Amino acid sequence: MYYELYIDQFFLEHLLTDGLLLALTALLCRSRLRAGRLLAGSAAGAAVMTFLICTGCVVLWPLSLTAAGVAAFWRRGEPCPWEKLLALLFVTCCFGGVLGALTELFGLPVLWMAAGAGCALRYGIAWLYRKRKRAADTALVTIWWGERQVQAEGLIDTGNHLREPLTGHPVSILSRDTAEELLGAGWEARKGFFLIPYHTIGRKQGWMRAVAVDRMAVTLPRGGDGQEALEISAPILAISEGALSETEHYRMILHPMHVEDAGCSRGSDKRQIFRKDRRDQDGS
């Protein structure tokens, strides 16, 4: 059996495909890849693959990936980027699987299928990073007030700079429904409250009711399957009148100072600050 092979077309297809694979690998590894490096890696991989196909040594196709990865990611004076080469192999295998599936389903030209497979992997990697980032930006919060206790998913918002104006203590924001679940109906008359000033886009000045609850535990995910918990005495929580999340994925917005010492060792200065907050409030 004989096949007609157009070297220029074969080289061009692999030049574009290798460029797509290298760009996806850089995205997966969160590495910056300049256009010159991308072009050099694509050309190297396409040239080696064209040579292998002409000599009948197609089984040595990993050499073309190695050439592309080294030309794109290796810099003089640095060790060989083995992690990125393995990531390139992983992306290539995923790309081949998606490309094969699309070819079976639609049977369009190779370049169209390659573009479709690249877009699928691109959005898949972006979705994975968004999911990991959302997990890293949320925490499980348990709040106690008297004999009552509630748990809520909290969003860690570095843009939350709310503070109680007299003491300067950080203020996290609780949804209205969660506050009523914790404090009960008519809690304002029983416990009392104080006002926290705030401003948002479109509104120069506003006020939120706030209350100091007994304590709050923040559980953060860490590396692997581990978790780390931080307990805060007498935190100040402002009650939002509107919804905090359109999808109701979280019911609380955490102040950064309520979570930033979760990675510190026990007995740290920040933990002592929160203890001091409790003493200050007990004495006020």
pLDDT at 44: 92
Q: Is the pLDDT of residue 148 over 50?
A: yes
Q: Is the pLDDT of residue 43 over 70?
A: yes
- Looking at 134, 151, 186, the residue that finishes a domain is 134
- The answer to whether residues 212 and 250 belong to one domain is yes
pLDDT at 284: 39
Instruction: Report if residue 1 sits inside a domain.
Output: no
Angle between helix 82-106 and helix 7-28 axes, rounded to 10 deg:
120
Q: How distant, in Å, are the alpha carbons of 121, 175, 182 from that of 160?
A: 34, 15, 22
Q: Are 72 and 41 in contact (CB under 8 A)?
A: yes
pLDDT at 89: 86
pLDDT band at 156 (very low <50, low <70, confident <90, very high): confident
State CA 191 to chain mean position distance.
39
pLDDT, greater one: 274 or 223: 223
- The answer to whether residues 153 and 88 belong to one domain is no
pLDDT, greater one: 260 or 94: 94
Q: What total number of domains does the chain contain?
A: 2
pLDDT tens-place string over residues 166-202: 888 889 988 888 888 888 877 776 667 788 887 765 5
pLDDT at 17: 84
Q: Which value, to the nearest 10 degrees, does the dihedral of the CA atoms of residues 14, 18, 20, 21 take?
A: 140
- The answer to whether residues 49 and 147 belong to one domain is no
- The answer to whether residues 82 and 11 belong to one domain is yes
- Looking at 100, 134, 168, the residue that finishes a domain is 134
- Looking at 73, 106, 134, the residue that finishes a domain is 134
Number of Cβ within a 10 Å radius of residue 280: 12
Number of Cβ within a 10 Å radius of residue 268: 11
Q: Are 13 and 110 in contact (CB under 8 A)?
A: yes
- The answer to whether residues 119 and 94 belong to one domain is yes
For residue 131, give both structure tokens: 């999911």
Instruction: Report if residue 242 sits inside a domain.
Output: yes
Average pLDDT taken over every residue of the chain: 75
Per-residue three-class SS string for 7-55: HHHHHHHHHHHHHHHHHHHHHHCCCCCCHHHHHHHHHHHHHHHHHHHHH
Q: Are 72 and 22 in contact (CB under 8 A)?
A: yes
pLDDT at 190: 67
Instruction: Report if residue 187 sits inside a domain.
Output: yes
Q: Is the pLDDT of residue 276 over 70?
A: no
Instruction: Report if residue 177 sits inside a domain.
Output: yes
Instruction: Report if residue 263 sits inside a domain.
Output: yes
In the predicted model, what is the mean pLDDT of residues 262-273?
35
Residue 208's domain comprises 137-283
Instruction: Report which residue type is found at 209.
Output: R
pLDDT band at 105 (very low <50, low <70, confident <90, very high): low
- The answer to whether residues 160 and 259 belong to one domain is yes
- The answer to whether residues 198 and 270 belong to one domain is yes
- The answer to whether residues 203 and 268 belong to one domain is yes
Q: Is the pLDDT of residue 268 over 50?
A: no
Element at 116 (helix H, strand E): helix 110-136
pLDDT at 81: 85
- The answer to whether residues 179 and 62 belong to one domain is no
- The answer to whether residues 120 and 174 belong to one domain is no
Instruction: Report if residue 2 sits inside a domain.
Output: no
- The answer to whether residues 244 and 272 belong to one domain is yes
- The answer to whether residues 102 and 160 belong to one domain is no
Q: Are 239 and 210 in contact (CB under 8 A)?
A: yes
Instruction: Report if residue 70 sits inside a domain.
Output: yes
